[in-house]
Amino acid sequence: MLKPFRLVAFLEGLSFLLLIFVAMPLKYFADMPMAVRVTGSAHGALFVAYVLLLVRVTIEREWSMKRAVWAFVASLVPFGTFVLDRELAREEADAEAA
C-alpha cells in the first residue's frame, strides 16, 4: 500500500504547486479563473485520495499518531509531500533489504 500512497502523495504535491505557482497567477494576473477551477478540482480530488490512503497506510503499517500527523501536515505545506517521499523511499528500501 506504500507505493500507491507515494504516487498519490507525489501527484497531490505536484497539483498543489501547480495551483499555487501557475493557476493562481493566471487567475489574478491574466484573468483566467478557469485555471484555478480545473487545477483546484484536481488538487481537491488528489487531497481526498491522499487522506484516505494515509489512513489506510497508517493502519496497515501501524504508524504512530505523530507519524500520521506529520504525513498529514506534509500535504498542507508546499514541497512537504516531496520531503515525506524521501523518508518513505528510505523506509521502503530498508524493508526490501531486510
pLDDT, tens digit, for every residue of 68-85?
999 999 999 999 999 999
**Model pTM?**
0.90
| Domain positions in the chain | 2-97
User: What value does the mean pLDDT of the chain take?
Assistant: 94
pLDDT digits (tens, 9 = 90+) for 7-21: 999 999 999 999 999
CA angle at 1 for the pair 81 and 61, rounded to the nearest 5°: 85
* Residue 42 to residue 19: CA distance in whole angstroms: 9
pLDDT above 80 (res 95) = no
CA angle at 84 for the pair 90 and 54, rounded to the nearest 5°: 105
Average pLDDT over residues 43-72: 96
